């Protein structure tokens, strides 16, 4: 059985050696995440080259996702751990260079305009909300706040300010340098952190326009949830980044937001990724908890295209076992009777996204319905940009989608498209040749036998992306 949902693995010290990396691919990894919050350019280049090498050797596509750090506000460098006592007053100093130290007794913060954007009563949440303060006053670049929890504050821990619309730019100088490096490396996806509004995505789009890279907007701010529809209109995909999202929102709101994001991403033909703490216990255990298994299963039932592993594969003790567990859960859920019940119905026509009411959307819907009526073993799409394949995936057909493309980057990008089997065509582009490539792949992999019907979709002419306008029934 071909697994429909895809798996992203964050690559780090636990998974960067070639042997472990290959085992991750064998276990089911479809894409690698390079996290620029922790990866140097040297480490990132090594990971990307390894991904391309293994992809060539194994003849399987591997997408590369470059995850920009974004304007994360952090504690600067402290002389040592700072014990925090509930009810006590502490002073924070907002600096341009928070690593250079502060005046005596103050805790350095990496956002120099922090004090000017706060008000009395605002909450300061450190270390994913584990340590909380309430603001009592500001004086110049200094903020006085009262602790609301006990704990120990360490250097470089993140700071969240729930409900605050800070003026910090969506792309920092570090992000721009990392982005330039990632584009030089020809990565397949760029993930933009701390998106708040559609303009943040537009700013990144201007920097990568015509490059062919796809943009993933990370939904981890309350503002992003409010502006979700506008963000989805501009991004190629969204990530439900539940770590920071769970700090920005009341934790009981996160499951509802997750369901809404995944639903809207499918309707808008955007890739939906669910991330953070999916199998967290497997950083130090060979087996997931029952709650984690249920979490992964529910994300799949919510309609996620992709599930992502972070620390489990980056620094965990059992990275391969974590991927194997994720793969097992996905296959079991997808094998459940009724999982794809009425899969082409993703909402009443009056409420569906506009893309489903276009000519390409109509072709995709008709191709899916024809495939089901004919009992065809798969769908075939001939695509240059990958849009046709993603549009078909949004219909959630009961059968695999064989996507034939002559574009090597599209071939890798489609490794993250739900239910899609990317097939690279390295001969001159043409209907007959690309169909023959799909036929030979299907016979070689035991997906069908001669004489069966299959449905083919394409955009003609081939060199015009986004023009899905053709459907035909072929006999294998």
Question: Which residues are designated catalytic?
Answer: 33, 74, 218, 276
Give the Cα separation of 173 and 35 in Å (integer). Answer: 16
Question: Which stretch of DSSP H or E encloses residue 233?
Answer: helix 228-234
Which residues have a Cβ under 8 Å from the Cβ of 71 and sit 6 or more positions away? 111, 166, 168, 169, 170, 171, 172, 175, 193, 194
Q: What is the DSSP string of 74-121?
A: EB---SS-EEE-TT-EEEEEE-SSTTS--STTPEEES-TTTGGG--TT
CA–CA distance, 214 with 13 (Å, rounded to integer): 26
C-alpha gyration radius of the chain: 24
Which among 227, 229, 230, 200 has a CA at the least distance from the CA of 215? 200
The sign one gets for the Cα dihedral 42, 47, 48, 50 is positive
Residue 160 β-bridge partners: 125
Which two three-digit tokens encode residue 455? 């449905």
- CA 125 to chain centroid, in Å, comes to 25
Residue 94 bridge partners (DSSP)? 109
CB 88 within 8 A of CB 147: yes
d(CA 55, CA 59): 6
């Amino acid at each position: 059985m071909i697994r429909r949902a895809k798996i992203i693995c964050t690559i780090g010290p636990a998974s960067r050696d070639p042997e472990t990396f290959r085992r991750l691919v064998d276990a089911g990894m479809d894409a690698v995440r390079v996290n620029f919050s922790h990866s140097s350019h040297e480490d990132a280049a090594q990971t990307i080259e390894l991904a391309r090498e293994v992809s060539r050797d194994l003849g399987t596509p591997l997408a590369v996702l470059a995850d920009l750090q974004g304007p994360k506000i952090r504690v600067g460098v402290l002389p040592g751990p700072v014990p925090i006592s509930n009810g006590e007053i502490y002073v924070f100093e907002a600096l341009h260079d928070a690593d250079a130290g502060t005046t005596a007794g103050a805790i350095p913060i990496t956002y120099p305009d922090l004090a000017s954007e706060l008000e009395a009563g605002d909450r300061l949440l450190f270390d994913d909300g584990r340590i909380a303060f309430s603001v009592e006053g500001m004086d110049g670049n200094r903020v006085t706040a009262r602790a609301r929890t006990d704990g120990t504050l360490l250097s470089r821990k993140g700071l969240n300010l729930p409900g605050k619309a800070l003026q910090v730019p969506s792309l920092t100088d570090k992000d721009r340098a990392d982005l330039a490096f990632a584009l030089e490396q020809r990565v397949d996806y760029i993930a933009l952190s701390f998106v708040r509004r559609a303009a943040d995505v537009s700013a990144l789009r201007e920097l990568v326009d015509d490059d062919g890279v796809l943009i993933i907007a990370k939904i981890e701010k309350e503002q992003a949830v409010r502006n979700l529809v506008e963000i989805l209109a501009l991004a190629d995909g969204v990530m439900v980044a539940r770590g920071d999202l769970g700090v920005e929102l009341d934790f009981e709101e996160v499951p509802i937001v997750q369901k809404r994001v995944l639903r809207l991403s499918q309707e808008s033909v955007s890739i939906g990724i669910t991330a953070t703490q999916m199998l967290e216990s497997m950083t130090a255990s060979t087996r997931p908890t029952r709650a984690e298994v249920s979490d992964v299963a529910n994300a799949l039932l919510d309609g996620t295209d992709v599930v992502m592993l972070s620390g489990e594969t980056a620094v965990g003790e059992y990275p391969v076992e974590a991927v194997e567990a994720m793969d097992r859960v996905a296959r079991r859920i997808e094998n459940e009777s009724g999982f794809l019940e009425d899969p082409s119905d993703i909402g009443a026509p009056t409420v569906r996204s506009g893309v489903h009411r276009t000519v390409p959307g109509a072709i995709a819907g008709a191709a899916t319905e024809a495939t089901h009526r004919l009992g065809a073993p798969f769908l075939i799409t001939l695509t240059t940009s990958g849009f046709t394949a993603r549009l078909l995936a949004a219909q959630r057909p009961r059968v695999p989608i064989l996507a034939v493309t002559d574009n090597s980057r599209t071939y890798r990008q489609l490794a993250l498209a739900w239910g899609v089997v990317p097939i690279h065509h390295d001969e001159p582009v043409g209907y007959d040749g690309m169909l023959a490539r799909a036929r030979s792949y299907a016979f070689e992999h035991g997906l069908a036998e001669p004489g069966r019907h299959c449905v083919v979709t394409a955009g003609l002419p081939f060199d015009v992306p986004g023009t899905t306008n053709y459907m035909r029934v072929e006999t294998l």
